[in-house]
Amino acid sequence: MSEPSVDTLIVDFDGRVPYDRYVEATTLHSLQRPRTDDPGEMSFLVVSQIMELYFRLIDSELHEAQRQLRAGEIWSSLAPLRRAALHLEGLDASWQSLRWMTPADFNRFRAQLGDASGMQSAMYRRLEFRLGLRTASLIRLFKRDVATHRELLRSLEEPSIWDDTVAVLAAHGHEIPRAVLDRDFTLEHTPHPAVEAAWVAIYSDDGPDNHLRILGEALAEVAERFGEWRYHHLSAVRRAMGAKPGTGGSSGIGWLERSLARAVFPELWSARTHM
C-alpha cells in the first residue's frame, strides 16, 4: 500500500498539530532530562517513565473492575480485568530494554539518583494497595507531599479488589464470616479457610454460566502477570547491582525477595490444592 500523498493530508491546523494536542507527545518528550552524558541513563529514564504510565493504566482498569463488582456486575468486570492482564504483559516487557545493564553500566549514572528509588513511586504503591498488598508505613515517604499522601491514605483505607471479590462471594451465598467482610482495610487481608472453601466450591462447577469461576480465572491472570513483573524486577536489580543496598535506603534484593513472596489473591491459589 502506497503512502498517502501530501496533497491528500490535512496539513493546515490552527495551532498545534491535533495528534500532539491529543497525545501530548511534545510534553512527553520533554520529560527526559538525563544528568550525565551516558546514553544508558536515557534508557533508564524512559523505561522508568513508561512503567509509571503503565502503573496508572493498570490501576485505572482495576478500579473499573471494582466499580463493576460493587454493582454486582460480575460479567462486566471481566473486560477491565482482561485488559489489566494485557497491560501487565506490556509492563513486564519493559524490563527487556534494560537487560543490557551490568553493574558497570549502572554505576556510570547511579550516583545521580541520590536518594531516589523506585520504592518511592506513589502510583506503584497505589497499585499495590489496589491489589491488596498493604504496607501502611510506606506512605510516610510522602508526608511532605500533602496531596499525594492524602490520595495514598484514601487508597489504603478503601477495600482492595480482593476485598470486593470476597464480598461478591458472600453476596452469592458463600459463607464468609462477618469479620472477614467488615475489617480494617488498612491491614493486609489474612487468608481465611472460608474464602478458600468458597473457591473450591466455585471451581467444582465447570458450567458455562458460572461467572464466579470465570472471574476467578481473570483474577488469576492478573495475579500471575503481576508476579512475573515482580520477578523480572528482582532479576533486573540483581543483574544491575547485585546485592548492594538500594538507593532509597531499602535492602535492595532482600526487599524485593520479601515482596515477591507476598501472594496476590492468596486463597485463589491455595484453593487449587483442594480441587
pLDDT of the residue at 242: 85
Binding residue positions for substrate = 110, 247
Q: Are 53 and 91 in contact (CB under 8 A)?
A: no
Q: Mind listing the pLDDT tens digit for each residue in 11-52? A: 778 788 889 999 999 999 999 999 999 999 999 999 999 999
Name which of 111, 91, 109, 89 is nearest 47 in CA terms: 91
User: What is the residue whose three cell numbers read 525477595?
Assistant: 257
CA of residue 157 relative to chain centroid, distance = 18
Q: What stretches in the chain show pLDDT beneath 70?
A: 1-7, 246-251
Please tell me the pTM assigned to this model. Answer: 0.91
Binding residue positions = 110, 233, 247
Binding residue positions for heme = 233
CATH topology of domain 40-274: Methane Monooxygenase Hydroxylase; Chain G, domain 1 (1.20.58)
